[in-house]
């Protein structure tokens, strides 16, 4: 049985919709772990839209920084945990917490080590940011590199990995097909 899934994709690729549908196909206590913060009116509207789409089935935990701790608190044998999204969490570690690369790497390694030990099932959503041009500034290159390393760690830690493009899934890793 699949216990952990990483769903990757670009902006507006359909990854969050696919993650929610997958999570809702599993029985249990559904917990949405949101990493976004409403820094402006437009983002507040996006968050409200996402909450409305989830509906009554879900309880929401907002945690922009301490994701591993939040997962531990929400975990349980009946838990279905959906983290949306790892890329925003990484942004928060860099910009809100001001962590250096070593501290970020430690947080990422902690999360990757935790996922296989969770009693419940978990779906993690992340942006695939490494398929475009090389960013022109240092912060953007740093972010792209850290996001790539985070995605690699999470892909190794998860039972299943799916890439979503234009709303269509491509299985990159499954229990029957380990690549």
Q: Which of 3, 10, 37, 50 is catalytic?
A: 50
Is residue 94 within 8 A of residue 138, CB to CB? The reply is no
Residues forming beta bridges with residue 177, ordered by sequence position: 174
Short-list 119, 111, 126, CA closest to 157: 111
Radius of gyration of the chain (CA): 15
Is 30 assigned a catalytic role?
no
The residues assigned a catalytic role are: 50
């Amino acid at each position: 049985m699949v216990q952990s899934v990483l769903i990757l994709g670009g902006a507006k690729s359909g990854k969050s919709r696919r993650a929610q549908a997958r999570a809702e196909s599993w029985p249990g206590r559904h917990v949405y772990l949101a990493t976004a913060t409403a820094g402006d009116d437009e983002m507040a509207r996006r968050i409200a839209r996402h909450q409305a789409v989830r509906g009554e089935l879900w309880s929401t935990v907002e945690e922009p920084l301490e994701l591993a701790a939040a997962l531990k608190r929400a975990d349980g044998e009946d838990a279905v945990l959906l983290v949306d999204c790892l890329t925003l969490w990484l942004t928060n570690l860099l910009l809100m917490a001001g962590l250096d690369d070593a501290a970020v790497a430690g947080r990422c390694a902690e999360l990757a080590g935790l996922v296989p030990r969770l009693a419940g099932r978990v779906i993690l959503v992340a942006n695939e940011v490494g398929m475009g041009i090389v960013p022109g500034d240092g912060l953007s290159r740093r972010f792209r590199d850290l996001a790539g390393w985070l995605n690699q760690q999470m892909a190794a830690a998860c039972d299943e990995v799916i890439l979503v493009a234009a709303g269509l899934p491509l299985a990159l890793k499954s229990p029957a097909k380990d690549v």
